[in-house]
Chain A
Amino acid sequence: MKIPILIKLLIIMLILTIVPLGIMGFLALQDEKAIGMNAAENAQSMGKFVISDSDLALEELGEKLITEKAKDVATQLAIYLVAHPTMTVADLQNDTAFQKIAVQKLGERGYVATIDETNTIRFHPNPMMINYDTHQMAAEYPEFWAVAEPIIEGKPFGGYYNWLDSDGVVRSKYMYHQPVGVLTADGVMLHVAATTYMEEFTQPSKQLEEKLNSSIQKTVSHISIATESMSSANTILMITLISIIIVIVIVIIVATSISRPIKQLTIIADQISMGDLQIEINVHTNDEINDLAESFRRMINAFKMMVSMHESYEEEKK
């Protein structure tokens, strides 16, 4: 069976191109999905690690700020009491200047209150809470009470507790209480209690975590969508089709450049065999086919010479 050069080249080139392309495409698709997912997982775990560290650092910072605030207010109150040694708790509760020191805002939603050694609130931002005995909260808020109770011992103490807010959400708070160190005129040792929500300090890292999670989620879904659409073979098919078209075009150009002069020389050889020595060879290439065409030219010239010599010989014979 005769197979043209064009078809032979086409088959070889297509096999050489499409098979490796298909294998590489398949492997690349698998690798891409795995690498993408791996990168997303790594980013997520790294992000969580960083956020967890940030959380701890921010909590420590929050604890320090609350502690320092309590100590600072206690010092201010001590100075005030030293300067006003005749004032009883009742006098102090009517003293605006003292109230301004004993009740302060802490952060956005936190506050500083002043409690006596029997755990009765003496100064509080909420007037309803003034002279409120916190023992009443012991049963309802055991965690709070665990932090508030040591006031009785007269030592500084700090700790976390969960607080049920009016919106029904339980939030973590930190409280630190510090004894003022100076007795009032009626012999009461006041304690400064500073408390606030820890989320005020950890909020930036929570926001960062949300942003990170949302970003990773987007990346993961993007990878999934991209790889799923690729796995539906659209991209590979497209690349393969484009490659096939390019290969076919190149093969046609190359094969034609080889086969056309060969066909011309075949026609010329046939004409020579029919005795036509006047034929012109218009084959000009930069390869071995040009050498073949040159050989044909020389062959034709040699034939012409032989014919001429033969005619001369015949004439001489006459």
Chain B
Amino acid sequence: MSLDTDITSILAKTIGPSAPIFLKQVCMKMKKRPSELIKQDLDSLIDQIYEGVRKPLGDDTAQKIKDNLETLK
């Protein structure tokens, strides 16, 4: 599986089928497409996602997503 698929499936556990849209938004900030993501982008991506999720969903949920994404490293 590609990296973006793994990230999408982790996000989907929390926000459902809209996970690819959210990932696309985050990637846009990194000036990349989801399919172009590589392992070296993970640290930055995880931080971006954490920040993006923390405000609407709270610290606990954001931390949980972060921990799950860390396993992809």
Q: Which residues of A contact B (CB under 8 A)?
A: 295, 298-299, 301-302, 304-309
Q: What are the residues of chain A within 8 A of B15 when measuring CB–CB?
A: 298, 301-302, 305
> In the complex the two chains form, what is the Cα distance from A298 to B22 in whole Å?
13
Q: What are the residues of chain B within 8 A of A306 when measuring CB–CB?
A: 18
Q: How far is the CB of B36 from chain A (nearest CB, A)?
A: 21
Residue on A with the closest CB to B13?
A298
B14 within 8 A of A: yes
Q: What are the residues of chain B within 8 A of A309 when measuring CB–CB?
A: 22, 25, 52
Q: Interface size (B, Cβ < 8 Å)?
A: 15
Contact A301 B25, beta carbon cutoff 8 Å: no
Q: A306-B18, A309-B22 are in contact. Are A301 and B61 (CB under 8 A)?
A: yes
Cβ proximity bits B1-45 to A, threshold 8 Å, 1 near / 0 not? 000000000001111111000100100000000000000000000
Q: How far is the CB of B28 from chain A (nearest CB, A)?
A: 11
Contact A295 B56, beta carbon cutoff 8 Å: no
- A301-B61, A308-B56 given; 4 more Cβ-contact pairs under 8 Å: A302-B17, A302-B18, A305-B18, A308-B52
Contact B16 A308, beta carbon cutoff 8 Å: no
B55 within 8 A of A: yes
Contact B55 A298, beta carbon cutoff 8 Å: no
Residue on A with the closest CB to B25?
A309
B57 within 8 A of A: yes
A-B contact pairs, 24 of them (CB 8 A): A298-B12, A298-B13, A298-B14, A298-B15, A298-B16, A301-B14, A301-B16, A301-B56, A301-B57, A302-B15, A302-B17, A302-B18, A304-B57, A305-B22, A305-B52, A305-B56, A305-B57, A307-B56, A308-B52, A308-B55, A308-B56, A309-B22, A309-B25, A309-B52
Residue on A with the closest CB to B26?
A309
B46 within 8 A of A: no
Q: How far is the CB of A297 from chain B (nearest CB, A)?
A: 8
State the 4 A-B residue pairs at the shortest beta-carbon distance, nearest first. A298-B16, A304-B56, A308-B56, A302-B18
> In the complex the two chains form, what is the Cα distance from A308 to B53 in whole Å?
9
Q: A308-B52, A309-B22, A309-B25 are in contact. Are A302 and B16 (CB under 8 A)?
A: yes
> In the complex the two chains form, what is the Cα distance from A307 to B16 in whole Å?
15
> In the complex the two chains form, what is the Cα distance from A308 to B12 in whole Å?
17
Q: How far is the CB of A295 from chain B (nearest CB, A)?
A: 7
> In the complex the two chains form, what is the Cα distance from A305 to B62 in whole Å?
12
> In the complex the two chains form, what is the Cα distance from A44 to B43 in whole Å?
97
> In the complex the two chains form, what is the Cα distance from A306 to B57 in whole Å?
11
Residue on A with the closest CB to B61?
A301
> In the complex the two chains form, what is the Cα distance from A295 to B61 in whole Å?
16
Q: How far is the CB of A296 from chain B (nearest CB, A)?
A: 10
Q: What are the residues of chain B within 8 A of A307 when measuring CB–CB?
A: 56
> In the complex the two chains form, what is the Cα distance from A299 to B15 in whole Å?
6
Q: How far is the CB of B6 from chain A (nearest CB, A)?
A: 18
> In the complex the two chains form, what is the Cα distance from A187 to B35 in whole Å?
147
Q: What are the residues of chain A within 8 A of B17 when measuring CB–CB?
A: 302
> In the complex the two chains form, what is the Cα distance from A298 to B15 in whole Å?
4
**Which of B14, B52, B56 counts the most A-chain CB atoms under 10 A from its CB?**
B56
Q: How far is the CB of A210 from chain B (nearest CB, A)?
A: 87
Q: How far is the CB of B22 from chain A (nearest CB, A)?
A: 6
Q: What are the residues of chain A within 8 A of B25 when measuring CB–CB?
A: 309
Q: What are the residues of chain A within 8 A of B55 when measuring CB–CB?
A: 308
